[in-house]
Structure 1
Amino acid sequence: MALSITIPDDVLESAKIPRNELKQELLKEMAFALYSRGITSMGTARKLARIDKWKFLDGLAERGIERHYNEAELKEDTAYANSHK
Structure 2
Amino acid sequence: MSIVISDKVLQTIQMSDTELLQEIAIMLFEQERFTLGQASNFALMNQLEFQRLLASRKISLHYDIAELREDVKSLSANDWR
Q: TM-score range by the shorter chain?
A: 0.5 to 0.7
- Which ranges in structure 2 are unaligned for 5 or more consecutive residues? 70-81
Aligned residues: 67
Q: Does residue 39 of the first structure (1) align with residue 39 of the second (2)? A: no
- Which ranges in structure 1 are unaligned for 5 or more consecutive residues? 74-85
Q: TM-score, normalised by structure 1?
A: 0.64
Kindly, what percent of the aligned residue pairs are identical? 27
Q: Does residue 48 of the first structure (1) align with residue 48 of the second (2)? A: no
Q: Note if contact 2:21-2:42 (Cα within 8 Å) is conserved in structure 1.
A: yes
| 1:70 counterpart residue number | 64
Between structures 1 and 2, the one with greater helix share:
1
Q: TM-score, normalised by structure 2?
A: 0.66
| RMSD, aligned CA | 2.3
| 1:4 counterpart residue number | 3
Structure 1 runs (4+) deviating above 4 angstroms are: 5-8
